[in-house]
């Protein structure tokens, strides 16, 4: 197995549950200048007149899960909308609570965390744009383990970062007539990749972008695709009801910048990989691993094949398929993660997705981009 590309994605910052600005990723924070005025809902104006908003991550920011937001920042799409971005790393399950409390304006929670928070009474939140349009979660398995399908997981150790990750796969196991009681979810923290590679835990709780990254780095893993078992949306861009009430223009601007960047990543995967490497110089990953992660993330956003990706674009980048959002709620209820039924249309909305922006301009940006990261250069 190749080790030269081993990364710190989820391996360094997942060990600490802290809220910090992204100091380790040069160029990631756009909060230039000191704040000069407060505008409500936790918003401030920077000295150069931009409205500063914060984005809270559910996992380590040194990660390919955020390639679209990094692209929006690097390419100036946020600045074009009059926004400056501050990144907050929160590697537990409190991201939705932070958004609801006004400690962050935007986030990217999984359906399990988002709807569990609603189920627990945190109801002043909305999902405002569809980022991961498919079920992204699944299981990576060591090829020598003999595991070929979901039923083969019964009684096996599943490597996880911590116990809370059981909510990621409980709907998938439920669809196969099992529950988390039928498997042994073992917390390996930052050592979960090696636990699976060594056979200590023959399977690994993961998601598409991470899986393709690991394959790109030389890990000999196969994949049990959760999207085939339980189609639904996954992580969505969220904000608070207060932001929608007080600053609907800012909400629309944030979503517009993000959807432009999502399209850019679809058009030029190499550029998206390169931007993340430049944004996060401490991300230890080689070019093939970077491309693998980018490929997986584009699949998460648009779909797993060309036809699905084109259909997502035609339907409107960032727009929810409400059947898929309800699938997510129903799957969580059936698996026992939720205590009561949630009507997804109460909490998911397409009202803030603008599809009128000029695709041709983004296409020109994608065509003109020149890769410059050291990983890209060393691959040539």
pLDDT for 70: 97
Same fold, 13-133+234-378 and 137-229: yes
Residue of 216, 213, 188 whose CA lies nearest to 203: 188
All residue ranges of the chain with pLDDT < 50 are 1-24, 26-40
pLDDT for 372: 97
List Cα–Cα distances, 209 to 84, 90, 124, 371, in angstroms: 27, 20, 30, 21
- For the domain bounded by 13-133+234-378, which CATH number is listed? 3.40.190.10
For the domain with range 137-229, which CATH number is right: 3.40.190.10, 3.40.50.150, 4.10.490.10, 2.60.40.10?
Answer: 3.40.190.10
Tokens in use for 98?
Answer: 């932070």
Fill in the DSSP letter of residue 371: -
Alpha-carbon distance 20 to 257, whole Å? 23
Residue of 88, 122, 132 whose CA lies nearest to 106: 88
Fill in the DSSP letter of residue 338: -
How does pLDDT run across 348-363, given as a tens digit for each residue?
999 999 999 999 999 9
Which residues neighbour 294 within 8 Å (Cβ) at sequence distance 6 or greater?
A: 64, 67, 209, 265, 269, 270, 272, 273, 276
Burial 16-45 (b: 16+ CB within 10 A, else e): eeebeebebbeebbbbeeeeeeeeebbbbb
Domain ranges in the chain are 13-133+234-378, 137-229
pLDDT for 203: 97
DSSP string, 205-231: EEEHHHHHHHHHTT--EEEEEHHHHS-
Report which secondary-structure segment, H or E, holds 204: strand 203-207
How does pLDDT run across 163-205, given as a tens digit for each residue?
878 888 988 999 999 999 999 999 998 899 999 999 999 999 9
State the average pLDDT for the chain.
88
């Amino acid at each position: 197995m190749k080790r030269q590309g081993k990364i710190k994605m989820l391996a360094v910052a997942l060990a600490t549950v802290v809220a910090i600005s992204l100091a380790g990723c040069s160029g990631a924070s756009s909060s230039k200048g000191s704040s000069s005025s407060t505008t409500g809902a936790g918003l401030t104006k920077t000295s150069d007149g931009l409205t500063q908003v914060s984005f809270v991550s559910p996992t380590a920011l040194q990660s390919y899960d955020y390639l679209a937001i990094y692209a929006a920042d690097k390419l100036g799409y946020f600045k074009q909308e009059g926004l400056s971005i501050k990144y907050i790393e929160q590697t537990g399950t409190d991201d939705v609570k932070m958004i609801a409390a006004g400690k962050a304006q935007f986030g990217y929670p999984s359906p399990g965390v988002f709807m569990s928070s609603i189920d627990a009474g945190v109801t002043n939140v909305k999902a405002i744009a569809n980022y991961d349009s498919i079920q992204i979660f699944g299981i990576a398995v060591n090829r020598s383990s003999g595991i070929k399908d979901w039923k083969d997981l019964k009684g096996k150790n599943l490597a996880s970062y911590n116990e809370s990750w059981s909510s990621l796969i409980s709907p998938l196991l439920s669809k196969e007539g099992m529950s988390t009681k039928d498997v042994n979810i073992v917390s390996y923290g930052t050592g979960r990749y090696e636990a699976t590679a060594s056979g200590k835990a023959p399977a690994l709780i993961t998601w598409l972008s991470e899986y393709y990254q690991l394959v790109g780095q030389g890990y000999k893993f196969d994949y049990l695709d959760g999207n085939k078992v339980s189609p639904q949306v996954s992580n969505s861009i969220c904000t608070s009801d207060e932001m929608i009430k007080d600053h609907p223009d800012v909400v629309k601007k944030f979503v517009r910048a993000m959807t432009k960047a999502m399209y850019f990543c679809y058009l030029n995967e190499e550029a998206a990989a390169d931007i993340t490497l430049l944004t996060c110089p401490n991300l230890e990953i080689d070019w093939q691993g970077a491309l693998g992660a980018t490929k997986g993330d584009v699949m998460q956003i648009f779909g797993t094949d060309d036809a699905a990706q084109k259909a997502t674009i035609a339907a409107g980048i960032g727009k929810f398929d409400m059947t898929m959002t309800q699938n997510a709620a129903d799957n969580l209820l059936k698996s026992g993660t939720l205590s009561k039924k949630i009507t997804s249309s109460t909490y998911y909305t397409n009202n803030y997705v603008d599809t009128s922006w000029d695709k041709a301009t983004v296409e020109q940006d994608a065509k003109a981009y020149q890769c410059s990261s050291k990983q890209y250069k060393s691959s040539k």
